[in-house]
Amino acid sequence: MVESKKRIIMLADCQSFYASVEKAAHPEYKDEPLVVSGDPARRSGIILAACPLAKEYGVTTAERLGDALRKCPHLVVVRPRMAEYIRVSLHITEIYQSFTDLVEPYSIDEQHLDVTGSLRLFGTPDQIARRIQNRVKQETGVYVRVGISDCKVLSKMACDIFAKKKPGGIFTLEREKLSETLWPKPVHEMFMVGSRMTRHLYKMGIHTIGDLAQTPLPRLTKRWGVNGEVLWRIARGMDSSPVTPHSQLQQQKGVGHQMTLPRDYTDWKELRVVLLELCEAVGRRCREKGLMGFVVSVGCQGADFDHPTGFSRQMKLPDPTNITDEIYAAACQLFQRHWNGLPVRKVGIALSDLRPDSLVQLTLFGNRDRKRDLERATDDIKSKFGETAILRASSLQASGQARDRSLRIGGHYK
């Protein structure tokens, strides 16, 4: 029997990615504390990324810009440029792919690499990691930290818990030494353990990752079911999932879009304009992917996070669809049924229970083929000439957000 070859899996993480891209583009800010923040004028002044110098002043990701400026009055604030970050991220992916074809994106600034088959070409795991670091730094100005182990979950923790705190930014987490390296660490540092779960684990007398790894599995599954086993397996470094390029696209369960509004909306006439725009965005994305869905979901939130308001509801349609008007009709029905009239700051629409749009249900009433042809024509116009080349008249009202949204990626200006 031939022994299977030990895998060499890396998790490469870009330090303060957005901030690093901006510092590379603006050498004059090299020695200045810099943050990338959303637009304060639209109440989205949240820190998206802070460089290491800004973090020395106590500035943290996701805090309000005003709070960050109180900590560091001379903070350099840069508006996000999402199109540039995506371009740099794709460039970094190409660098990774020059070392292995097994590259799986985890987020815009984190990716897994399986370099098991690359060792003869590029050297030891440490040498490969160093070469990756040097190339990314030279070509993009971004500093990459690399965690190395024999599976994805351990390489993730090797990066987050060790490599990020190590001067060289590279750390190998060996399975044989978990009891000496990983297990003594506080349980709140473990991947997938947040503050709420930490409190629950403390109440059970579990304070370290080792405590969790050595807890009898039935005790955890009795408390949390399958999630208890997931935590137990992570603590023990049990993860056989392969590094799979494009795996996130293959596992898509739904298509959704949400929007934070520039002010509180309290009038149904205003809200239905935004709902229609969101339904059109969701419908178009489904049509581009060749998908349609059975389940329409609608949700909204108020602006006061200390006293949350809103709802999230869904309904199943008699036939799957990707037609904007049909999604919109269901969304309006759900919204009017469950909205209590309180101010709305965020709205979201999603279509799920997806299937290929090649399977079309014929209907005796209505003309779905004509609607599909019309929407495909408007999709083509937008693809060729831009999102605002053709708009519904309702989007020209003051409550419409389509024109402003066309200037953004992921809610931030391009």
- Cα gap 55→393, rounded to integer Å: 46
The tens-digit pLDDT sequence of the chain (414 residues) is 344 578 999 999 999 999 999 999 999 999 999 999 976 554 457 899 999 999 999 999 988 888 999 999 999 999 888 889 999 999 999 999 999 999 999 989 999 999 999 999 999 999 999 999 999 999 999 999 999 999 999 999 999 999 999 999 999 999 999 999 999 999 999 999 999 999 999 999 999 999 999 999 999 999 999 999 999 999 999 999 999 986 544 556 788 888 888 889 999 999 999 999 999 999 999 988 888 899 999 999 987 766 778 889 999 998 899 999 999 999 999 999 999 999 999 999 999 988 887 765 555 555 777 787 788 888 788 777 877 778 787 777 777 777 666 656 555 555
User: b/e per residue, 191-228, with b = 16+ CB within 10 A?
Assistant: bebeeebbeebeeeebebbbbbbebeeeebbeeeeeeb
Q: pTM surpassing 0.75?
A: no
The whole-number pLDDT of residue 359 equals 62
Cβ neighbours of residue 139 under 8 Å, at least 6 residues apart?
91, 95
The whole-number pLDDT of residue 128 equals 97
The whole-number pLDDT of residue 406 equals 61
The whole-number pLDDT of residue 1 equals 38
Q: Annotated binding residue at 109?
A: yes
Element housing 103 (H / E): strand 103-107
**Which residues participate in catalysis according to the annotation?**
110
Using DSSP, state whether 49 is helix, strand or coil: strand
Q: CA Rg, the chain, in Å?
A: 24
Residue-range domains of the chain with CATH:
7-173 (3.30.70.270), 180-235 (1.10.150.20), 252-413 (3.30.1490.100)
- Cα gap 338→299, rounded to integer Å: 9
- Is residue 300 within 8 A of residue 339, CB to CB? The reply is yes
- Cα gap 231→237, rounded to integer Å: 10
- Is residue 57 within 8 A of residue 40, CB to CB? The reply is no
The whole-number pLDDT of residue 308 equals 77
The whole-number pLDDT of residue 248 equals 46
352: β partners: 254, 295
